[in-house]
Structure 1
Amino acid sequence: MELKKTPLYAMHQKYKGKLIDFGGWELPVQYEGIIKEHKMVREKAGLFDVSHMGEIEVKGKAAQEYVQYLTTNNIKKLAENQVMYALMCYPHGGVVDDLIIYKYSEEHYFLVVNASNTDKDFAWIKENCPPDVMVTNVSEQYAQLAIQGPKAQEILQKISDTDLNTIKFFYFNPEVKIAGVPCIVSRTGYTGEDGFEVYLKPGQAGFIWEEIIKAGGQDIAPIGLGARDSLRFEAKLPLYGQEINQDITPLEAKLGFFVKLDNDDFIGRKALLKQKEDQPARTLVEFYMLGRGIPRSHYDVEKDGQKIGWVTSGGYSPTLDKNIGLALIAQPYGNVGETIDIVIRDKPVPAQIDQGIFYKKKSQARTTP
């Protein structure tokens, strides 16, 4: 089957991206090297093509009530032009997807979902939709670029007609012109750094990509999927299919902050309430390697020779210069200071559970609403 291409495919070719099959999309895993790109984002700025992400609009008089029922967070707290992270759950508490919710008004929401889940999510949202709400998959109407890093605002401001200071963290402005092109600009990010997402018509994406690169000069570079993953992992941001999936609940994944159980009813609330009362049998832990070896996703975790769970995400952290990971393990073994074994090439390698070991931005520490 032929791979799908984003509107920025020509840019990936021009900048000599190493293209791979990523969930049916032909996308660059790297340009000049994962570590180099990773450090560029931490120190200056990077430009990402995230046009493969899915966008779904929910409109109608009951739109707010429906999005509230569909997701775990309290979206009624949102002001217009505010953004919120949330999860959609199945009735048994497992995760359909995690998503970003943009509120235009109480009758208009814009949901950004994971690329590989777009069709599944759209079907799920339609399946549960009341008759007075209109749900539309608008993914093909948008290209999406992300500019991330400490110099992101300085670079984007050079070609923006809007004072970017007015776009606060987890807010968006639907009427920004970038190099004269109408765009929706939000300020969220998936790297642990400050940055912006730019949504625009697919036909304008190549032009805006080049304008951002030109504005940034030596302070910006195109970034591939490899560094995108190492950046999000190092900042301890969850990835669907690893930290969460249909068999892992938000409570097990330590995402309880985004699950408002004391609020209105939502799909999965009953199961999650029970799990909270009973205490989850599994828990997500942070660990660092004591022995030599790099932990990878799906490696088994053992204690005294018995399997107690598995690594959800793991690897070498370029910024922290150590091998760290996240693992979903049986609750009794999840205490800080506990030693566990990561099975690397059939050999148990010691690691220690800790907390606060992942990357945090030194200035402007922020949390999502």
Structure 2
Amino acid sequence: MKKVTPFHAFHLAAGAHMAAFAGYEMPIYYTSIQEEHLAVRQRAGLFDVSHMGEFIIRGPQALDLVQRVTTNDAAKLGDGQAQYSCMLNEQGGVLDDLIVYCIEKQNVYMLVVNAANIDRDREWMIQHNAFDAEVVDISEKTCLLALQGPAAVTIVQPFTDVDLIKLPYYRFVKTSLMGFKPVLISATGYTGAGGVELYFENKDQAAETIWRELVKAGEAQGMKLAGLGARDTLRLEMGYCLYGHELHETTTPLEAGLGWIVKWNKDFIGKAALLQQKEQGVARKLVGFRMIEKGIPRQDYRILNMEGLPIGKVTSGSFSPSLNEAIGLGYVETAYAAPDTPIQIQIRNQQVKAVVTPLPFLKNS
């Protein structure tokens, strides 16, 4: 039986096209992916992402556990700061990418993980918890709404005393919203369009009240309800990785261009394997590409060189509503990873021309 979020009835009432996603029935789009995508880029869009997983790590050695299971340096975080990171297996493969929130330095952290990996991540942390740290899975009771776009802060601001304009990227506050507290408001968006994320428990009909009030307030700003389809095209334009596409157990952060979230000044699971790969050099790299000829690249399509020989695979691809052209991400042999390298995408029985493009595709967003 598929799980549903507390906002499920609102999605159905709004005519959402629902589909199974990571064990949940989730809205893929309401009107169209393109319309919702452009609303987020130009105005605002409201996403239900309550399917995501959240863990609280607490105790005197909470930081030790976070440091052990993630690649970034969480010791640098102060209260109210967040960082992008990932969790690796012993071979250096990515078990998950996640965001670490520092609630109380050294003592309390929240890890936000991908929905499909909640159970595995929890077991992995428990397995490697050789510290005096408690791992609490709060995924089931946590609602998460992402209000994204240039008008997002204007919509939320009347409902809180915190000056959201002054909330920097990858920072968060715990406050009250519409009389409900605590509500954690963060600015760690996955769309490249600005905005905030709201974490809260569904007590005293908080989900219904917050949803209805945001929808009402958003009407004047041209806000649209947005599904996971638009979330995917928005993150693709920014070149952001998606677990199960660019990231999985057989890819490393170095191959994915995520070396910046790997800190060598600390010990973490998978470090030895990554060090070896760093010394030897990666054999393949994640690149962005745009189509020169007509065609939409899709996951697992083969990437060829100009002689027609296979050099890699597409991980994500779509038509970009902002750029009005087809774009994609994929792994290629390192020799073909330089910007402006001509490549071909095997679309059914045709070899369609494309070119390697620097990321993000959408500049100055």
Say whether the fold is shared (TM-score over 0.5): yes
In 2, the alpha carbon distance for the partners of 1:127 and 1:323 equals: 43
Alpha carbons 2:61, 2:131 under 8 Å: kept: no
How much does 1:321 deviate? 1.0
Q: 2:27 aligned with 1:28, yes or no?
A: yes
Within-5 A mapping of 1:1-369: 2-105=1-104, 106-174=106-174, 176-182=175-181, 183-202=183-202, 203-219=205-221, 220-261=223-264, 263-303=265-305, 304-356=307-359, 358-362=361-365
Alpha carbons 2:65, 2:131 under 8 Å: kept: no
* % same residue: 43
How much does 1:357 deviate? 5.7
1:307 maps to amino acid? P
Greater Cα offset, 267-276 or 163-172: 163-172
How much does 1:343 deviate? 0.4
Alpha carbons 2:98, 2:112 under 8 Å: kept: yes
Aligned to 1:365: none
Alpha carbons 1:193, 1:361 under 8 Å: kept: no
Alpha carbons 1:302, 1:342 under 8 Å: kept: yes
In 1, the alpha carbon distance for the partners of 2:32 and 2:117 equals: 28
The count of aligned residue pairs is: 359
How much does 1:322 deviate? 1.1
How much does 1:166 deviate? 4.0
1:292 maps to amino acid? K
2:103 maps to amino acid? Y
For residues 200-248 of structure 1, what are the alpha-carbon distances to aligned partners after superposition, in whole Å with 9 as ceiling and x for unaligned?
1124112101111111214212101111111111111110011111000
In 1, the alpha carbon distance for the partners of 2:55 and 2:359 equals: 35
Gaps of at least 5 residues in structure 1 are: 363-369
How much does 1:271 deviate? 0.7
2:86 maps to amino acid? L
Please tell me the root mean square deviation across aligned C-alpha atoms, in Å: 1.2
Aligned to 1:366: none
1:300 maps to amino acid? R
1:197 maps to amino acid? E
2:218 maps to amino acid? G
Please state whether the residue corresponding to 1:212 is helix, strand or coil.
Answer: helix
